[in-house]
Structure 1
Amino acid sequence: MTRKEKTSAFFKQSELFDYMVTRPLSHIVPNWELTWNLKENRVEPEEDSLAEEVNRLLDEISEVQPPKEYHANEDVLAEYVKSHLNWNIYKKGNRWESSDYEAIINQGSFGDEDQKNLILAAAGRIEAAIEHGQTNFDDMEYGHQKILAMVMASILYQRIDFSKILN
């Protein structure tokens, strides 16, 4: 199975993906519910939705080599938050302390050029889940699922063309 096929299979007909990834962006793009097209093996494009952006994101994730140490890519985002936004966060062992990790990822996304670290973190989290027998987004361990959802929502947010929405 190719990486693209594995990525598609991972998100195929997920019950939770749109709820956890596109719904938090529904104040910007109102049509958050996604429909999986079984024939095309992709999300069905719909008006006022992020479906096409989700398809592009899944393609992009499938094209990168998933890092074994995806936390290093997330650490880059946390370091940005610490140094550029002056958040009082610190790393204790392998965890960032003193703030909500999802908030760190979200705010760090603003300093991630072309969302490179976010893309690698997503690819790494997906690969790790599959290696642990969690072959679909809905099967992921909740804590990891929640972070992957935030990573993907942050990528989508950074790529929204607000000029089209505000007109």
Structure 2
Amino acid sequence: MNERIKEFFGRSNMFDEMVTLQLSHIRGNWELTWKDSEKKYEPEENSYAELVNELAIDLANLEPPLKYHDNEDRLAEYCKSSLKWKIQKIGNRWEGSDYVSILEQGGFDDYNQENLCLAACGRVKAALKRGQLNFDDMEESHRKILANVMAIALYHRGINA
């Protein structure tokens, strides 16, 4: 399972457009080149490739949580309690603010991106379980949230690098 999680992000036509492009104002070289022989993105100057490779390895080394939404909920609870956002969980959805903004702001209190990484790992595991073996194969709405979770984790890693 671990290698499958790591390789899940490789040979993707959408990953850099959905993940690193949104960070291009920080590191302008957002297009990633997959090196099949090494099963990783080729490191380049002013690129997120090395951080993406490290994040993929970190995700592969995690035990995927049974309920990755719990990790995302912890980020939302931080926004609600510490930042005093007027958000609430209704059923299985957070209402009162944009979900990606909730995850992004909650990520500032997420030590070593623990909850972001567990959420990403859980989302990848769920995709693999459904036979979606690559980021590009994911169902669109799940791919969009995973892309944002990955971008948020990369952003936080990048500012701490």
What TM-score comes out, normalization by structure 1 length?
0.93
SS at match of 1:104: helix
Q: Is the 8 A contact 2:6 2:59 kept in 1?
A: no
Q: Which residue of 1 aligns with 2:136?
A: 138
Contact 2:12–2:136 (8 Å) recurs in 1: yes
2:150 is the alignment partner of 1:159: no
The aligned residue for residue 97 of structure 1 is: 95
* Pairs within 5 Å for 1:73-88: 73-88=71-86
Which residue does the alignment assign to 2:49?
51
**Is 2:32 aligned against 1:34?**
yes
Q: Give % identity.
A: 55
1:109 to 107, 110, 130: 107
Partner Cα separation in structure 2 for residue 147 and residue 161 of structure 1: 21
Secondary structure at 1:160's aligned position in 2? Answer: helix
- Alignment TM-score, normalising by the size of structure 2: 0.96
The total of aligned residue pairs comes to 161
1:24 corresponds to: 22
Match of 1:149 in 2: 147
How many Å apart are 1:99 and its aligned residue? 1.2
| Aligned ranges 1:57-72 → 2 under 5 Å | 57-72=55-70
What's the CA shift string for 1:65-94, capped at 9, x where partnerless? 001100000000000011111111000011
CA distance in 1, matches of 2:97, 2:130: 28
CA distance in 2, matches of 1:19, 1:84: 33
Shift of 1:8: 3.1
2:28 counterpart SS class: coil
CA RMSD after TM alignment? 1.2
Runs ≥4 residues deviating over 2 A: none
Where structure 1 has 5 or more consecutive residues not aligned to the other structure, the ranges are: none
Paired residue type of 1:46? E
Q: Deviation per CA, 1:26-82, whole angstroms, max 9, x where unpaired?
A: 000000000000100000000110100110000000000001100000000000011
Contiguous gaps of at least 5 residues in structure 2: none
Q: Which amino acid aligns with 2:41?
A: V
